[in-house]
Amino acid sequence: MFGHPVAVLTADAATLAAVRDRALGRGMPISIYTAELFKTGNDVANRAQVRAVGTADLDLVGIGVAGERNPVDKVTKGARLHS
């Protein structure tokens, strides 16, 4: 489905924000998932929801990070394997 190995981790909102900041600081590609995204039905509305909120105020419920294993492990420190 993805074409790449995937690990699903779980973390609280503060840890997700820290993961986002560390990944961005390393120039790693990310995708964010906010609570508001699950209330819209299309990509245009999703993007508008994210733009309407400042970065510090995003209600992060998930984040995707792409990269080699070691750097991804470092930026996802504090998250644990989802069971």
Domain ranges (residues) in the chain: 9-81
Query: What fold, for 9-81?
Result: Bit1 (3.40.1490)
State the pLDDT at residue 72: 93
pTM of the model: 0.83
Question: For 19-61, how does the pLDDT look when each residue is reduced to its tens digit (9 = 90+)?
Answer: 999 999 999 999 888 898 888 888 898 889 889 988 888 899 9
Percentage helix, strand, coil, to 5, in the chain?
A: 45, 20, 35
Q: Residue 23's CB: how many other CB atoms inside 10 A?
A: 22
User: Can you spell out the DSSP letters for 19-58?
Assistant: HHHHHHHTT--EEEEEGGGGG-SSHHHHHHHHHTS-GGG-
- Whether residue 14 has pLDDT greater than 90: yes
**Phi, psi dihedral angles at 36 (to 5 degrees):** -65, -30
Hey, what's the torsion of the CAs at 47, 20, 5, 1, to 10 degrees? -10
- Whether residue 1 has pLDDT greater than 70: no
